[in-house]
Chains A and B, each alone.
Chain A
């Protein structure tokens, strides 16, 4: 994944620079720095640095014998410092990799996206309750009583905090709450 992230940043840097240079003037007609001057400098810097990072990643992959579609390039590789911290605790590198939970990350991201989508349809309070029930049923299975009571009490507390105490109205959904 590191390779793909580096590649994504490199492509983004190119797109940013060329879009900026096509839509903004680098210098004004009087020769002063224009609205595209600073973005231009930032774009050049980004292309250079992300380019070097990309080349470094390719070299590392070549050394390890991996290709861009191989498992090691596609699986998450955590930062070196974290790996050092984990391996210091006595875990082998394989253990550390096994202890990663990319699926759970995807579940949380999907549920957060669902929460944002639900906000305007179901309203603030109901969306929070549904989000918590879903999240806890996946992350904390079989603890139904605890999960349901927590899923009702926490959103109610946040509703009272934001909507009543701070007067920051939460969105109202189809059920009028």
Chain B
């Protein structure tokens, strides 16, 4: 197995190491760090907005660049968490808990360096685990039928909505709205037009990119304006790059060596689970580290382990989320859903056969993630002064860049004004969803997976002559159905038994 892993990684490196791929990998990583820096502009928006710019590239090069934005944003998001106590990305929320207190104690330099190292270790462990897991899972999934696929998609969406805590119902509405948008156009099974209202523009369906750019890009931007991000003065912690205090001391390394390993493993597992992702991974990494620490009272007051654990976890989780994406063709988060859409746009058919039909692409992408982490640790440490300078740009100056990239990027997709108006409508919807606790990520995930879910459900029912027993007959379907039922029924049963006490605990 180890020999296979090394051979596959070697093959991937031979694909990834070309001057063009390396150049776009670096551009992706750099842009990803900048995307991570600005609050309200996460990796999903960054990838969606930059998709139109990759049209002139080879598919592998384009995806390598987009993936660079994805994991690069995890590095960038922490810089704002540490220096201005504002997470640039939801996955770096846990990093503010100890990152900012560290900066207030005059240890911003060591915190920034340690977060870069933890991110690198987490990301690299994640990539190694992808090499081990993705082919095994793809081989296992090759025997899956439509019923198993439908249940996996259902399970992924269910987990995503379950993770929303008190807003579970809003999560379900968000996912169903994604299905509603996905249903527009010609039905592939019957050839009948659905919800097109006689418009020729809608026959081909609603393209996911304008919707994703609208929900994540314009929606987040409007929300940032609503909460007054454009009126806030940036007050960051000052740090000196030349003083010897900039570097971590021996104690930082020795105290964190096992923390980084634990964080990476926890994060990776959270990432692999559909619907979980880097945000949950980083929060889990932090909480578990605090729970097992002999001195938990130090956490939240500037403890290096409290920064290292979520950082290793969110980067490992972003790698982990690539496992279901590459081996099953099922994304687990908004950002990976946008990546999946990009795969499809480039004519790649995601699923277990992708690794067999297009090994150059899959292993090239995985190897590029390995290289990307090396580029990012160098960028994170060597270019800290540059990225810190970016924080001094007022949000009001960032606002027009985002709007213009979103509008012009959407227009240039198909030179369609209808799609450009759809962007604005999706933006307004995204703003309201964010404002009232709905999940734009669930909407995009359901939009991208909508036709796949419908096709697999209908195929299952046709095979079984309309009987739902098909979801319980095969061992894997039975197992998945039981898990799904448990996820739905368990909270209800617990609430009935323990009443309000359970609700309070769950919150």
- A residues sitting closer than 8 Å to B (CB atoms) are 1-2, 5-6, 9, 16, 19-20, 23-24, 28, 31-39, 42, 45-46, 49-50, 52-53, 56, 76-82, 86, 99-102, 104-105, 108-109, 111-113, 115-116, 119-120, 124, 128, 131-132, 135-136, 139-140, 150, 154-155, 158, 161-162, 166-171
Contact = CB atoms under 8 A, between A and B. Distances in A.
Contact of B432 (A5, A38, A135, A139): A5
B412 interface: yes
Given A19-B195, A76-B435, A112-B218, A128 B190 contact: no
A170 B412 contact: yes
A20 B396 contact: no
B225 A16 contact: no
A101 B231 contact: yes
A23 B184 CA distance: 13
Contacts of B290: none
9 closest pairs, A vs B, by CB? A168-B412, A79-B437, A35-B187, A38-B454, A35-B192, A35-B190, A42-B179, A46-B176, A140-B396
B221 A108 contact: yes
Contacts of B431: 105
A116 B408 contact: no
A33 to B, nearest CB: 5
Contacts of B404: 128, 131-132, 154-155, 158
Contacts of B443: none
B180 A42 contact: yes
B31 to A, nearest CB: 13
Given A112-B407, A120-B417, 8 more contacts: A32-B462, A77-B435, A79-B435, A100-B227, A108-B225, A116-B421, A155-B404, A166-B52
Contacts of A1: 435-436
Interface stretch (B15-23, B103-111, B165-173, B376-384): B165-173
B222 interface: yes
Contacts of B192: 24, 35
A139 B399 contact: yes
Given A20-B195, A37-B458, A136-B396, A101 B228 contact: yes
Interface of B: 52-53, 55-56, 166-167, 169-170, 172-173, 176-177, 179-180, 183, 187, 189-190, 192, 194-195, 218, 221-222, 225-228, 230-231, 394, 396-397, 399-401, 403-405, 407-408, 411-412, 415, 417, 420-421, 424, 427-428, 431-432, 434-437, 453-454, 457-458, 461-462, 466
Give the most central of B167, B225, B466: most A CB within 10 Å: B225
Given A112-B218, A113-B424, A132-B400, A104 B225 contact: yes
Contacts of B230: 101, 104, 139
Contacts of B53: 161, 166
A113 B214 CA distance: 13
A135 B396 CA distance: 9
B421 A42 contact: no
B173 A154 contact: no
B507 to A, nearest CB: 10
B414 to A, nearest CB: 10
A23 to B, nearest CB: 8
A166 B225 contact: no
Nearest to A136: B400
Contacts of B183: 38-39, 42
Given A35-B187, A78-B435, A104-B225, A20 B421 contact: no
Nearest to A38: B454
A114 B433 CA distance: 23
Contacts of B173: 9, 46, 49-50, 53
A74 B231 CA distance: 24
Given A39-B194, A53-B170, A105-B225, A112 B427 contact: yes
Contacts of A113: 424
Given A158-B405, A167-B56, A109 B424 contact: yes
Given A105-B226, A116-B417, A170-B412, A52 B169 contact: yes
A100 B227 CA distance: 5
Contacts of A105: 222, 225-226, 431
Nearest to A104: B225
Contacts of A5: 432, 436
A101 B225 contact: yes
B62 to A, nearest CB: 12
A38 B450 CA distance: 10
Contacts of A140: 394, 396-397
A128 B220 CA distance: 21
A62 B397 CA distance: 43
A140 B401 CA distance: 14
B175 to A, nearest CB: 9
A108 B173 CA distance: 27
B201 to A, nearest CB: 15
Given A16-B180, A136-B400, A158-B404, A104 B226 contact: yes
Contacts of B417: 116, 119-120
B180 A35 contact: no
A115 B407 contact: yes
Contact of B194 (A32, A35, A115): A35
24 contacts: A1-B436, A2-B436, A9-B173, A19-B195, A31-B466, A34-B190, A35-B192, A39-B194, A46-B177, A49-B172, A49-B173, A50-B173, A99-B228, A104-B228, A105-B222, A108-B399, A109-B428, A112-B218, A116-B424, A119-B420, A150-B397, A158-B404, A162-B408, A171-B415
A11 to B, nearest CB: 13
A120 to B, nearest CB: 7
Contacts of A108: 221-222, 225, 399, 403
Nearest to B395: A139
A118 to B, nearest CB: 10
Nearest to B454: A38
A109 B222 contact: yes
Contacts of A99: 227-228
A112 B424 contact: yes
Contacts of B52: 166, 168
A168 B396 contact: no
